[in-house]
Amino acid sequence: MLQVGRLKKLHFLYNCGLLLIVTYLVACNNSEVKTIQPKTDYIHEIPGKNDTIPVAIAQKGEVLIAYSDCYTCHKEEKRSVGPAFKDIAKRYPVQRVYIDMLAQKVISGGKGAWGSATMIDHPKVPIEEAKLMVSYILSLK
């Protein structure tokens, strides 16, 4: 019995060690990202009036996004491979020109507006659906 107890204890300690190493690695990675990509001047807010987005439109966009691959690179609140959806909403006023431009960008992909990471193209997404997706993103103001 004593032996089993000791083994369990060792196992527990071993797991704690692993956890510490993983936590350490995650913490280090985070601080690295922070030093490489300072947040200052990242959003470049464009001034302009905001049109209203009907709730039904935003909801359709939200569903389309959930069924597409967007969340592999985007998060709502935090920057990931791509900018946070809330940061995109902060930059662009809700206006047709921006919705059209961003919808086109979702379809053709690209980089440079937020940094050097590239958004893949989405040639199979119809323009009307891309506009709904962008409307949802801009509704997150």
**Which ranges of the chain does DSSP label H, i.e. alpha helix?**
2-36, 55-67, 85-91, 96-108, 127-138
Q: Which is nearer to ligand HEC, 49 or 124 (CB)?
A: 124
**Which one of residues 24, 120, 121, 126 is an interface residue with ligand HEC (CB under 6 A)?**
120
* Binding residue (CB under 6 A) for ligand HEC from 118, 121, 126, 127: 118
User: Binding of ligand HEC at residue 46 (CB under 6 A)?
Assistant: no
User: Which member of 79, 102, 131, 139 binds ligand HEC (CB under 6 A)?
Assistant: 102
Structure tokens at 63: 């569903």
* Mutual angle of helices 127-138 and 55-67, in 10-degree steps: 110
Q: Which stretch binds ligand HEC (CB under 6 A): 16-24, 25-33, 42-50, 100-108?
A: 100-108
AA letter at 86: K
The tokens for 20 are: 């510490």
Distance CA 126, CA 64 (A): 11
d(CA 131, CA 57): 9
**Residue in 32, 45, 51, 69 binding ligand HEC, rule: CB under 6 A:** 69
1 assigned ligand-binding residue: no
Q: Would you tell me which residues interact with ligand HEC (CB under 6 A)?
A: 65, 68-70, 72-74, 81-83, 88, 102, 105-106, 110-115, 117-120, 122, 125, 133-134, 137
